[in-house]
Structure 1
Amino acid sequence: MGKLIKAEFRKILSTKLWWGLLIIALLVAGAWAGMLSSVFDGLAEELSRSEVMRLAGLQLDEISFSVVFLTRAINIATIFPMLFGGLAIASELGRKTITTSFLTAPNRSMLLGAKGITYAIWGAIYGIAIICAATLGIVIGTGGDHLVSFTTWLSTAAAGVLSCVLWTLLGLGVGALIGSPVGTVIVLLVYGLAIGPISDLVFTGFAEGDANVAGALPNGAANGLTGSTAADTLADEIQANATGVSSVSSDLLEGFQDTARLAAGGLGSFGLLASAAIFFAWAMLFFALGLWRTQSRDIT
């Protein structure tokens, strides 16, 4: 297995795809974080006038509001590790190079397992790079003000890395199912840029009595993973620093968390653990289906 993983790394590093998508991901994450945080003052003033902030007796600089922009930038940039994973098997099927891989590997299961491990590692690499770019964008956009604490940044970074890993594996499964690099890119882009966000809006706006329908879908659950981390962080800071915490009801805090999830892109999402479990299930479903399809595919 170790030799197969090493071979997969060599194969990836011999192409331009990994760094081409990575550079775009860094630019998108940094630009979005910088742009959102540059307009921070206007949004922060609105948040500071909220009832929960007033009752808690908190000042603006006591809350790490920029974590919302960090998670928003991460959510947007995760489309690139998804595309990277989507082309993992699809490109080899399209070029017929996977035939040689199957012939030289002990069996298909070991080869596909090595691909899964390799691309999970690459998903983490993309995640770390995206988070660093988004952090730099916030530093530049805010001029160094209103930065998140290290513990807040660490928890958000962990959620972002997990999100990138799962998106990479989900993309890998979709690519393996479709078997065409062009078809895979089209499907993933249409879902990531249109169907996913639109379905979040539709289900959140029109679900009768259950606004969390969107959170049960892949896009909503993935955004909820990072968005709920930001929302929970802000709620914890309010409870820890509030001078009038006894006056802040649980309903107000819950409403504040929902607003923070919305701002972070987690529209209609569940809490952190539920979002993580739901997105993990979706990613593993597509990943397993893709490997099963490749395992049984007739390769000539």
Structure 2
Amino acid sequence: MGRLITAEFRKILTTKLWWALLIPTFLLSFGWAWGTAELTTGIANDALNQEVIQDLRVPIDEISWSVIALSRSINIASIFPMIFGALGLASELSRKTITTTFLTASTRSAVLGAKAITYVLWGMIFGLAIGAAASLGTLVGSDAAYLPGGKEWFLILIAGVIMCTLWTLVGLGVGALIGSPVGTLVLLLIYALIVGPFGELVLFTSTEGSNAPGFLPNGSANGLTGSTASALLFDQIQTLVLDRGGTVADDETRDAFELFARALAGAPGAFSLWLSGLIFLAWTALFFVTGILRNQRRDVT
């Protein structure tokens, strides 16, 4: 297995695809985080100067609004590890280069297992790159008062790495199912850029803010970072309210706030962090396992 994993890394590193995707991944994540952080900071500063807010003594400048920029930029950039995974097996199947590997390895299962491990590691690499770029963009675009603490920042980044890793496996599984890099990319990009976002928006608005979008692949994936960010914002606001002699918010108020905050973070209708993670893990397992099983008996001659 170790030699097969080494061979898979060698295949990837001897091509231009990995860095050709990492560069736009970093730039998109950085740019999106920077722009969104600037926008969020501007809105928060404008609200802070409003007479109504000043009279109510709402501590706008004590809330980490920049987590919205951090989570949204990670969600947007996660399309690149999905593309990377999609080409991982589909390109080899299309060019028949997988034939030699299947014939020389002990079993197909060993080859596919090595690919899975390799692309899990690469998904983590993409996730770390996206997290670093999003963090840098958020730092550049946001006022210091709106930045989260180190622990909260770390939690969002961990959620982002997990999401990117799972998206890589989804892409790998879909590519294994279709066997064509062009067909795989067209299908995944149409879903990720059009069907997923607009479908979630339609479901979210037509069902009056229900959690229906959270059952979809895109919605559950974005829920990993979006729910982490919304929970952080709510806990901060709740702490500030209690410090000023207020009361603990009831479950209905919390649910309403987090539903709104998740929508701002790019995850409308998403469930909580753990439930979103389990739903997206189920989608990942469905596509990945089906793709792997399809290639146990696929004719590659």
Q: Which residue of 1 aligns with 2:252?
A: 251
How many angstroms apart in 2 are the aligned matches of 1:210 and 1:241? 27
Give, in angstroms, the shift of residue 253 of structure 1.
Answer: 2.8
Q: Which runs of 4+ in 1 moved over 6 A?
A: 46-49
Percent identity over paired residues: 51
Q: Which residue of 2 aligns with 1:273?
A: 274
How many angstroms apart in 2 are the aligned matches of 1:46 and 1:196? 33
How many angstroms apart in 2 are the aligned matches of 1:47 and 1:100? 63
Q: Which residue of 2 aligns with 1:39?
A: 39
RMSD: 2.2
Q: For 1:120-158, what per-residue CA distance to the aligned partner results, in whole angstroms no more than 9, with x for missing partners?
A: 110000001001101111111125452211001100011
Q: Which residue of 2 aligns with 1:176?
A: 176
Structure 1 residues 250 and 58: CA distance shift in structure 2, 3 A:
farther
Q: Which residue of 2 aligns with 1:3?
A: 3
Structure 1 residues 59 and 287: CA distance shift in structure 2, 3 A:
same
Give, in angstroms, the shift of residue 251 of structure 1.
Answer: 2.9
Q: Which residue of 2 aligns with 1:70?
A: 70
The answer on whether the counterparts of 2:163 and 2:224 sit within 8 Å (CA) in structure 1 is yes
- Structure 1, unaligned runs of 5 or more: none
How many angstroms apart in 1 are the aligned matches of 2:104 and 2:265? 46
- Structure 2, unaligned runs of 5 or more: none
Q: Which residue of 1 aligns with 2:114?
A: 114
How many angstroms apart in 2 are the aligned matches of 1:234 and 1:143? 16
Structure 1 residues 170 and 47: CA distance shift in structure 2, 3 A:
farther
Q: Which residue of 1 aligns with 2:288?
A: 287
Q: TM-score, normalised to structure 2's length?
A: 0.93
Q: TM-score, normalised to structure 1's length?
A: 0.93
Give, in angstroms, the shift of residue 66 of structure 1.
Answer: 0.5
Structure 1 residues 232 and 46: CA distance shift in structure 2, 3 A:
farther
Q: What SS does structure 1 have at the residue aligned with 2:269?
A: coil
Q: For 1:88-115, what per-residue CA distance to the aligned partner results, in whole angstroms no more than 9, with x for missing partners?
A: 1000011111001101111000110110
How many angstroms apart in 2 are the aligned matches of 1:23 and 1:148? 26
Give, in angstroms, the shift of residue 83 of structure 1.
Answer: 0.4
The answer on whether the counterparts of 1:58 and 1:241 sit within 8 Å (CA) in structure 2 is no
Q: What SS does structure 1 have at the residue aligned with 2:247?
A: helix
Which stretch shifts more, 8-17 or 209-218? 209-218
Which stretch shifts more, 239-248 or 191-200? 239-248
Give, in angstroms, the shift of residue 57 of structure 1.
Answer: 6.0
Letter in 1 for 2:116: G
Q: Which residue of 1 aligns with 2:102?
A: 102
How many angstroms apart in 2 are the aligned matches of 1:176 and 1:297? 10
Give, in angstroms, the shift of residue 6 of structure 1.
Answer: 0.9
Which stretch shifts more, 38-47 or 93-102? 38-47
Give, in angstroms, the shift of residue 254 of structure 1.
Answer: 2.4
The answer on whether the counterparts of 2:33 and 2:70 sit within 8 Å (CA) in structure 1 is yes
Give, in angstroms, the shift of residue 45 of structure 1.
Answer: 5.2
How many angstroms apart in 2 are the aligned matches of 1:218 and 1:57? 41
Q: Which residue of 2 aligns with 1:238?
A: 237
Give, in angstroms, the shift of residue 87 of structure 1.
Answer: 0.5
Q: What SS does structure 2 have at the residue aligned with 1:211?
A: coil
Q: For 1:200-247, what per-residue CA distance to the aligned partner results, in whole angstroms no more than 9, with x for missing partners?
A: 01111223x772111001000001111000011111222233324416
Q: What SS does structure 2 have at the residue aligned with 1:65?
A: coil
How many angstroms apart in 2 are the aligned matches of 1:47 and 1:186? 42
Q: What SS does structure 2 have at the residue aligned with 1:39?
A: helix
Q: Which residue of 2 aligns with 1:89?
A: 89
The answer on whether the counterparts of 1:58 and 1:238 sit within 8 Å (CA) in structure 2 is no
The answer on whether the counterparts of 1:204 and 1:213 sit within 8 Å (CA) in structure 2 is yes
